[in-house]
Amino acid sequence: MSDSYQRGIYIQEVDTALTPMTVVSNPCVVIGTALKGKVNVPVLCQTYGEFVDEFGFSGDFDSYTLEEAAQVFFNVYNVRPLICVNVLDLTRHKKTTTKSLTTTLTPLELSGGIILSSVVVKSGTATLTLGTDYKLEQLNATVTITILSTSKIVDDTISVEYQEADASKVTKADIIGSDAYGVETGLYCLENVFPKLGMIPSIVLCPKWSTDSEIALAMAARCREINGVFKALALADLDLKTTMHVKENPTADLLIGDKGIARSNLLADEVGTSNTNYQDLYAYKTANSLQDEFLALFWLKVKVGDKLHWLSTHAAALMNLVDSGNNDLPFESPSNKALKISGSFTSDGTEITLSKPKANTLSGWGIITALNWSGWRLWGNRISVYPNSDDPKDSWLPVRRMFNYLSGVLAVNYFSKIDAPIRKRLVEQVVDEVQKYLDGLAAYGAILRGSRIAFLEEENSVQNLNDGKAVFHLYIGALVPARVIEFRLEFDTALYSSLFG
């Protein structure tokens, strides 16, 4: 029982006053085309309904590529949010269409990315009046024409002229974009995600478009440094259109990836025939310099219902799903996690089911694919820079993502310290706060215990300090995925002794 009457000296200890680290949000950003909506502006979508309200929906994923991402994220994997950037500009990417309709068929419907204000309805030489002779209603990709008066209609026929979105006029230049005159377009819109939405891009997608090597490399370049400090990971797909003959015994003198597995008889036991063989994939990757620590490559399209999607889109949603089970920390690989698909195909619709040895071959080339092994799963951990580089922070998918994540956390939390006086108090505060954060990550199991921060004298020269530069060194034990688990079985003859009492 404590004294009710206190007299003398008493001491109490309180917890050190450390500012808690702010957890940053790291969503996926998808850049592509849509029926409608803001152009070259990052739009945050938390639900499928929000996406449809902003960008519409046609079901034509090849023309309107943002729709695939929305479908996969919200309706297949049930993950959010998704940040969308539409580059289809209806002032440039449009065409004029004229259609003849019979008014005895009701309702009269037109489909496509129609610009409602451009619709002109005629019959014979007469132009019908909106609101008097007919009315228009638009729902997503469908425009309904309701005839109010037939007084001007000749032979029960009308002609409708209108302008509509033409996705075929979008070019790779629109996707790559620029920041000319201070206006960001295409991939350069990544620079506006944090200033406008307060979120840091974690994954960058360009469904269909990323099969172009120039766009894939531009994605990696933009992901390397966003806002001068943030880093993201670009996901791109491989898709060779040229038809190649299947080779029964490709040259086996090229060694690949993990443990230098020889490439031989690569296609002998594949199901179906592909317009792309393994040798072509590796040759295409190297010839086009698709080797970057901020670029992950994927091969094969995947099927959901009657639709084919790009594997990178599913991989991005799967990464977010895995992260959500880990307090949004990206330390666990999506590889060997379940894909919600029913098959894998080449882009021409040819079904191809990879055996595990062949999927492993792709992994050794730094290409991620789909594997049906007691259910469909993503297969591969290596970023495209592998096997040219085996630096763990650059070549392992979850390690690269964790380094990107930590870069964002540090940048957001310590921006307020810029221009603060360099003194002992600043150094101690940063070291204490970051160390406490690293210890928390280690306790959660997101990094290895012993990860630490240091302010080293040899890295903070008088010249640097005079120039206002303070360097903090973090030693991060990021978690490498278990690529091989080996069990060794040995016949033990000594156990025969158990036969004799």
Q: Give yes or no: residues 220 and 325 share one domain.
A: yes
Q: Give yes or no: residues 198 and 143 share one domain.
A: no
Q: How far is CA 12 from CA 5, 9, 15, 150, 220, in A?
A: 17, 10, 10, 90, 54
Place of tokens 């956390």: 409
Q: Give yes or no: residues 371 and 449 share one domain.
A: no
Place of tokens 């594949």: 270
Number of domains observed in the structure of the chain? 3
E strands in 342-489: 343-345, 367-372, 376-379, 452-454, 473-475
Q: Are 41 and 183 in contact (CB under 8 A)?
A: no
Rounded to an integer, what distance in angstroms lies between the CA atom of residue 284 and that of residue 275?
A: 13
Residue 464 lies inside a defined structural domain of this protein: yes
Residue 241 lies inside a defined structural domain of this protein: yes
Q: Are 338 and 352 in contact (CB under 8 A)?
A: no
Residue 49 lies inside a defined structural domain of this protein: yes
Residue 405 lies inside a defined structural domain of this protein: no
| Residues in a beta bridge with 261 | 256
Pairing of strands 157-165, 120-123: antiparallel
Q: Model pTM?
A: 0.88
Q: Give yes or no: residues 77 and 226 share one domain.
A: yes
Q: Give yes or no: residues 304 and 431 share one domain.
A: no
Confidence at residue 14, expressed as pLDDT on a 0 to 100 scale: 52
Other Cβ atoms closer than 10 A to 199: 18
Residue 415 lies inside a defined structural domain of this protein: no
Range of 256's domain?
A: 28-87+171-394
- What value does the CA radius of gyration of the chain take, rounded to a whole number of Å? 29
| Residues in a beta bridge with 139 | 142
Q: Give yes or no: residues 357 and 266 share one domain.
A: yes
Q: Give yes or no: residues 113 and 182 share one domain.
A: no
**Low-confidence residues of the chain, pLDDT below 70?**
1-19, 21-24, 241-279
Rounded to an integer, what distance in angstroms lies between the CA atom of residue 101 and that of residue 155?
A: 11
Last residue of a domain, one of 108, 137, 165: 165
Q: Give yes or no: residues 158 and 201 share one domain.
A: no
Rounded to an integer, what distance in angstroms lies between the CA atom of residue 133 and that of residue 127?
A: 10
Q: Give yes or no: residues 211 and 69 share one domain.
A: yes
Q: Give yes or no: residues 83 and 125 share one domain.
A: no
Last residue of a domain, one of 136, 165, 194: 165
Residue 413 lies inside a defined structural domain of this protein: no
Identify the burial level of 238 via C-beta atoms within 10 angstroms of its C-beta, where 0-12 means exposed, 13-18 middle and 19 or more buried.
buried
Residue 14 lies inside a defined structural domain of this protein: no
Q: Give yes or no: residues 198 and 254 share one domain.
A: yes
Q: Give yes or no: residues 67 and 111 share one domain.
A: no
Q: Are 76 and 48 in contact (CB under 8 A)?
A: no
Last residue of a domain, one of 145, 165, 185: 165
Report whether the peptide linkage leading into residue 81 is cis, meaning its omega lies within 30 degrees of zero.
yes
Residue 9 lies inside a defined structural domain of this protein: no
Confidence at residue 140, expressed as pLDDT on a 0 to 100 scale: 80
